[in-house]
Amino acid sequence: MLIRLAIRDVVLIEALDLDFSAGLGALTGETGAGKSILLDSLGLALGARADSGLVRHGADRAVVTASFDVSEDSVVTGLLADNGLEGEPGEPLIVRRIVKADGGSRASINDQPVSAALLRELGTRLVEIHGQHDDRGLLNARGHRALLDAFGRFDTGPIATTHARWRAAEAALEAARADIETAERDREWLDHAVAELRQLAPEAGEEETLAADRAAMQKGARLAEDLGHVTTHLDGSDGALAGLRQAARRLDRIAHEHEALATALAALDRAVIEASEAEDALAEAGRAMAFEPERLDAIETRLFDLRGIARKHRVQPDQLAALAEELEARLSRIEAGGAGLAALERAVAAARTDYEREAAALSDARAGAALRLDKAVAGELAPLKLDAARFRTAIERLPEAQWGADGRDRVEFLISTNPGAPFAPLVKIASGGELSRFILALKVALAEAAGARTMIFDEIDRGVGGAVASAIGDRLARLSTKAQLLVVTHSPQVAARADRQLLIAKSHDGTVTRTGVRLLDEGERREEIARMLSGAEVTDEARAQAGKLLAA
C-alpha cells in the first residue's frame, strides 16, 4: 500500500509531500491543474522512462520518493529477498528515482542502487495504473490466464510438479540415448580396452608396492659383496664371533683367580651378545635385500606393463583399477541399454499421461471459471452504460511445444462493443471511456483475484455523468475494500464516494507557477464537489446537492 509520496522539482511541483491511507482516495481539481504531473511523478518512481523534460525549470534534478507498506505482500517481499533488498522488519519499502536536467537517471530501493528494469518489475507489483492509454495490466493477454486462475482459486502447484517430473524424465531419456549412442560408437575400443585391463588385472596401490620391492632388490644387489665379506669376518668357525665365544669359555675357567679376569669375562660376554645381535641383523638385512634375478625381472616386467597401459589411457598407474571398473560399467550399460531405455521410456509415458490428465482437469475447471467470470462481468456492464457490449473469456489449446507448468491453455479476455460485432481484444476496439469502464468492470469481477495492493484509475469517468458516474463511484468504493484505490476524477458522484479527497491546484506569485496538493476537510470537500457540480460559480443549490452526495 502506498503510504507516502515526496516530489521535488518535477515540472510545476517545487516540493510536495503527500500521505496516503487505505480505502478510496479521490484526486480532483480543474482541468490543467496538474493531476497528470502527480501521476507522472509516481510513474517515474515506479520505473517509467526517465525524461529530463520533467525537471522543473531552473532545477538541476528532479527527485521522487515513494514509500510503501509491504508487510502483508509476500510477492513483493519475495522479489526483494531474491535481489538482496530486504529492509528492516516493520519498516516501509522506499523507492526513489532521480532524473538529472542534463540527462540520465538513478534508481534505488531501500537506499540501494538498482537498475530501472528491476524498479519497473517491482513497480508493476506495487501499483496498477489504469488509464485510457494503458497497455499493461488487464490489457496484456499474457496475464489473463493467471487472473482467471486466481478468480477460480486454482492451485497450479501440483501440475507444475507433474510437468517438472515429465520434463526431467524426458531429459533422462535423452541423456541415456546420447550415452548409448556415444558408447556404441566406442564399442570396439571398449571391448579391446576391457579385455586388456582384465588380462592385466591391476590392483590399487600395486605400482607403489612393486617399485619399493624393485628398489630394495636393486639395493641388495649393490650391497651383496660387502655383506658377504662382513658375514665371513663375523660368522663361521674362523669368524670373530666364534673366536669371542672360544675366548670367553677359556677365560671362564680361570676368572675366579683374579678380579681383573672376572671383569674381562664380563666384557667378553657383552661382546658375544652384541656380536650375536649384529649377526642376526645382518641375516635379516640379507633376507630383505636378497637379490633374485628372476624375481627382479618379473617385477620390472610388471611395472613396465602397468606404466605402459597407464600412459595409453592417460591416467596414473594407481588409477588403472578404477578405470577398469568404469570401462566395464560402460560396456555393461551398452549391453543392458535396451532394457534401460525401455524403462526410461515407460517413465516418460507415465509422466506425460499424468500431466495430460491434470491439464485436462485444469482446462475443464478454467472453462467453468470462465463462464462465471463472463457472467460476473456482464452484470457490471449495464450500470456502466455498456449494456450493448459483451464480454467473453476465450480459452484455446496451446500447441504441445508450448505446454508448461501452468497447463496447456491460452486465455484472453475479449469484448464486442456492439450487437453483431466480432469479439476482439479490449485494447483494439474499445474507445477511451469504454476501455476505462471495461477495466473497472473486470476489476470488480476479479476483486478476489490476486493483484497489486494499490490501484490508480485515471479519469475513468470521462464522458459520463449522472447514474453512470454514480455506478462508477459505487464500484470503486466496493473495490476499495479489497485494495487501496486512488481515482483522478472530474465527477462529483465519484468524488463523493471517496474516503478522502485531495485537491490539486495551481498557484501564481507573479513570476512562478506552482502545482500544489492538499487534503480537504469536510467543509472544503463540500465546496469542491459543489464546484464540480456547478462550474465556475458555486451556487447554494450546488452546495446543497454536494451535501446530499456526501451524506449518501
Three-state secondary structure along 444-493? Answer: HHCCCCCCCCEEEEECCCCCCCHHHHHHHHHHHHHHCCCCEEEEECCCHH
Q: Which amino acid is at 108?
A: S
Grid coordinates standing for 346?
515407460
Whole-angstrom Cα distance, residue 304 to residue 210?
Answer: 11
Backbone phi, then psi, for 29, in 5-degree steps? 155, 165
In a domain, 156, yes or no: no
In a domain, 224, yes or no: yes
Nearest Cα neighbor of 479 from 130, 177, 114 is 130
Q: Which residues of the chain have pLDDT under 70?
A: 32-33, 131-137, 220-230, 232-233, 236-237, 286-291, 333, 336-338, 427, 429-433, 448-451, 510, 536
Q: What is the DSSP letter of 83?
A: T
In a domain, 248, yes or no: yes
Whole-angstrom Cα distance, residue 503 to residue 480?
Answer: 20
Whole-angstrom Cα distance, residue 87 to residue 112?
Answer: 10
The whole-number pLDDT of residue 317 equals: 86
The whole-number pLDDT of residue 5 equals: 93
pLDDT tens digits for 359-381?
Answer: 999 999 999 999 999 999 998 88
Q: Which domain holds residue 216?
A: 187-337
The whole-number pLDDT of residue 237 equals: 64
Whole-angstrom Cα distance, residue 164 to residue 403?
Answer: 11
Whole-angstrom Cα distance, residue 170 to residue 165?
Answer: 9
Beta bridge mates, 18: 5
The whole-number pLDDT of residue 402 equals: 94
CA angle 7, 10, 14 (to 5 degrees): 70
Specify the pTM.
0.62
In a domain, 259, yes or no: yes
In a domain, 55, yes or no: no
In a domain, 291, yes or no: yes
Whole-angstrom Cα distance, residue 46 to residue 125?
Answer: 10
How many distinct structural domains can be found in the chain?
A: 1
Whole-angstrom Cα distance, residue 265 to residue 71?
Answer: 101
Backbone phi, then psi, for 103, in 5-degree steps? 100, 155
Grid coordinates standing for 545?
446537492
Whole-angstrom Cα distance, residue 107 to residue 97?
Answer: 5
In a domain, 295, yes or no: yes
In a domain, 87, yes or no: no
